[in-house]
Amino acid sequence: MGFDHVDLIYANPPPAGLAVADLVAGAGALVAAGKARAWGLVNWPADLCGQAVEAAADLAIAPPCAVQLPYSLVQRSWVEDTAMRQAITRVGAGVIASFCLAGGALTGKYRSGAAAGRLAGTLTEPRFAPAIAVAGQLAGLAESLHTTAAALALAFPFTNPDVASVLFGATSAEQLRANCAAAALWDRLGPDDIAALLRIGLPAGTGQR
């Protein structure tokens, strides 16, 4: 990479045959060697998060400072599951929300089914069905609020106090500016606007947090 160090190194869940304590020791060694300033977890289930914290304490290693998890209007589990919330509290780390646009399906650009992009040709896959189903509703709310569906979708994770930051990809400066507009929404979104946003994609029969 050409760097003396990285600020944050993420660890994937340990593969079969690798103990959590051994992985934590490896991450801690990178921090101790100055190759990374901190470490975090990516897509670890709640029980393994707890084991990582215990291992770090036993090894006198600083605990993970970030937990990256998929989180969107249509994928609220794992972040909102009780076990994960307890694990995050125990870790004392912030959630880094990923896949917040559901691969781009929540931007609304696939509503006609004909747009080019990373999901072209895969829109009929069941995993994208929830996002495709609510894309029109999200676009309607965005229009009423004079913003974009992408900005609203990226604003959603910040309604959760456990979230510290949001990840997104951009293929152009225009897209980057549009996505960053999510940060400015909080100056003008009222309680009713946020409630309307939270209702989008909420499974039937469930309440808002």
Give the pLDDT confidence of 123-154 residue by residue, as tens digits. 667 888 899 899 999 999 999 999 999 999 99
**pLDDT the model gives residue 208:** 63
**pLDDT the model gives residue 118:** 65
Helices (H), the chain: 20-32, 46-58, 82-91, 129-144, 149-155, 173-180, 191-199
**pLDDT the model gives residue 74:** 97
Indicate the pTM of the whole model.
Answer: 0.90
The arithmetic mean of pLDDT across residues 151-163, rounded, is: 95
Q: How would you label 94-115 residue by residue, b for 16+ Cβ within 10 Å and e otherwise?
A: bbbbbbbbbbbbbbbbbeeeee
pLDDT at 182 over 90: no
**pLDDT the model gives residue 108:** 81
The arithmetic mean of pLDDT across residues 82-102, rounded, is: 93
pLDDT digits (tens, 9 = 90+) for 164-181: 999 988 888 988 888 888
The arithmetic mean of pLDDT across residues 63-90, rounded, is: 95
**pLDDT the model gives residue 117:** 63
Cβ neighbours around 46 below 10 Å, total:
18
